[in-house]
Amino acid sequence: MANRKLLPTRLLSEEGAICRTEAEMISLGEEVGRLLGLGDVVSLEGPLGAGKTQFSKGLAAGLESRAEVSSPTFALVHEYDGGRVPVAHFDFYRLESADELLTTGYDDNVAEGVTIVEWGNKFPEVLPASALRFVFEVVDPSTRVVRLVS
């Protein structure tokens, strides 16, 4: 499991990590991704356009995946192989209930690699207690703030 003490300190501060470009958001995700391992779950929470998918690109890169990362909004899940561990990238945005997760293979994927969940706050009951939960905030059109909340 990822050691929270090793996370970039700016994510743990009250101010959070400030990102002004997509490249900065990807880089921040990559820093976190380097710390992840088998069984880790990362929940990305915040409004549309807040940088969750860009952060996910960085997470996958930090896990040494060369996969083309994109939002799984319509597919519900994308799987990325080829890194240190398999990555399952879920999006809960379009789901109406946690019961719908049964058809996505969510439970199986949590045990088999790293699980990234966009909109994880929709169904917090399915997140393990050890999940890293990041909240994304849109400050203005070019500024985003990311904070670890648990």
Decide if 38 is inside a domain.
Answer: yes
Domain of residue 107, CATH code: 3.40.50.300
Decide if 9 is inside a domain.
Answer: no
Write out the residue range of the structural domain in which residue 34 sits. 17-148
User: Closest by alpha carbon to 19, among 144, 136, 103, 122?
Assistant: 144
Decide if 72 is inside a domain.
Answer: yes
pTM, to two decimals: 0.91
> What is the total count of domains within the chain?
1
Decide if 5 is inside a domain.
Answer: no
The one-digit pLDDT tens for each residue of the chain (150 residues) are 666 778 888 888 889 999 999 999 999 999 999 999 999 999 999 999 999 999 999 999 999 999 999 888 777 888 888 899 999 999 989 888 888 877 777 776 666 789 999 999 999 999 999 999 999 999 999 999 999 997
